[in-house]
Amino acid sequence: MKESIPNLDGTSRIYAVFGDPVAQVQTPHLINPIFAAADCNIYAVPFHVTPKYFAATWDIFAVLSNLAGIGVTVPHKVAAAARCTTLTPTAKAVGAVNSIQRGEDGSMHGALFDGIGFIHGLGEARAALGGARVLMVGAGGAGRAIAYALVEEGVGRLSLLDLDSASVAFTRDMVNAVIGRDVAFAAGPSDGWDYDVIINASPIGIKGNARFPVPENEIRSQMLVADIASLKDETALLRAARNAGAATSDGNDMLRAQIRLIAGFAAGLSAGTSLC
C-alpha cells in the first residue's frame, strides 16, 4: 500500500464518489493524478451506494472532518442536490449536482460542472458560441447544464430536440428564465438544419440503433459539432463532421475539463476554478 499510495497518512482527505453502479466511473483514476501534481493530500475513492442507503451513507460521510467532498453520478445527482446546504446557480436551476464540497463547519456545497466543463472543453472553438444558432439534441441530464452554460455564453438561439417533450419544455423554460428573454425554443419539423453549432447531448451513437436527426449532408465545414456521447469510439456524427471539415469536440474534451474543475472544488477552491 505504501508503494502505491506513498503520501497517504493521517492528514489525508477523501473525495468520495457515490454511484450505483460505480464500477464504470472514471473520476478516481482521472482526478487522483491531478491532486498529486498539485501536491494536494486528497484521494478520490469510489463507493457503491444504492438509492436505498444513499441518505444514510451521506449522513455518515458528511460528519467526517477529513472528507474533502463527494462526487455523485447516476442515480444520485438529484437526491444529493436536495441535501446540500448551498447550490451554485447552475445546480439550483437544473436541480442536480455532480460534486459537493465539504466546508470546515460540515456544510455541504453542491455544484454541477457538466455545462461549464463542456464550454471549457471546446478550447478555442468556444469563441464560435457568441450569437450562434445552436441545435442541441438531448434536453435531459447533462443537456440541461449545457443549455444553461450556452445561454451564459451568449448564444443567439438555442433549439432543443428530444423525444421527451417534457424535458424540452423544462430546459427551455429554465434557460429563458435565466437569461430573461426567449432564447431557447423547441425545435420544429419545419425549422431545417441551418445552424452554426450542433450538439449531441443524448445517448444517440452509443446506445441503441437510433440515428442522429441531422442528415450528414447538412453538416458544413463552417459548423462546430460536439458530441458528448463520444468517449471510447468515434460516433457517426463526429465522423461526418470531420469528413465535412467542421470543427469538432467529443466527450473526452468535456470530461477532462470537468475533472480539473471538480479537482479545484474538492480542494476548496471556488466553483469553476481549475486546480491546474
Q: Give the pLDDT of residue 2.
A: 39
Extract the C-alpha cell encoding 257. 475539463
Q: Give the pLDDT of residue 203.
A: 86
pLDDT in tens, 213-271: 999 999 999 999 999 988 877 899 999 999 999 999 999 999 999 999 999 999 999 99
Cα separation of 78 and 57, whole Å?
15
CA distances, 119 to each of 18, 47, 99, 147, 256 (Å): 25, 29, 17, 10, 11
What is the SS3 assignment for 99?
Answer: strand
Of 52, 77, 92, 207, which one is the catalytic site residue?
Answer: 77
Q: Give the pLDDT of residue 1.
A: 35
Reply yes or no on whether the pLDDT at 273 is more than 70.
yes
Q: Give the pLDDT of residue 188.
A: 87
Q: Give the pLDDT of residue 4.
A: 55
Write the DSSP string, 228-259: TT-SSS--HHHHHHHHHT-EEEEHHHHHHHHH
Q: Are 247 and 224 in contact (CB under 8 A)?
A: yes
Write the DSSP string, 67-88: EEEEEE-TT-HHHHHHH-SEE-
Reply yes or no on whether the pLDDT at 7 is more than 80.
no
pLDDT in tens, 67-107: 999 999 989 999 999 999 999 999 999 999 999 999 999 99
Cα separation of 140 and 148, whole Å?
12
Q: Give the pLDDT of residue 141.
A: 84
**Exposed (0-12), middle (13-18) or buried (19+): which is 91, by Cβ within 10 Å?**
buried
Percentage of residues in the chain having pLDDT higher than 70: 97
Extract the C-alpha cell encoding 123. 478550447
Average pLDDT, rounded, for the chain: 94
Residue 77 falls in the annotated catalytic set: yes
Closest CA to 99 of 141, 70, 66: 70
pLDDT in tens, 150-194: 999 999 999 999 999 999 999 999 999 999 999 999 998 889 999
Q: Give the pLDDT of residue 83.
A: 98
pLDDT in tens, 47-74: 999 999 999 999 999 999 999 999 999 8
Extract the C-alpha cell encoding 114. 457538466
Q: Which residue has the higher pLDDT, 24 or 118?
A: 118
Only one residue has cell 492528514, namely 11
Q: Give the pLDDT of residue 9.
A: 86
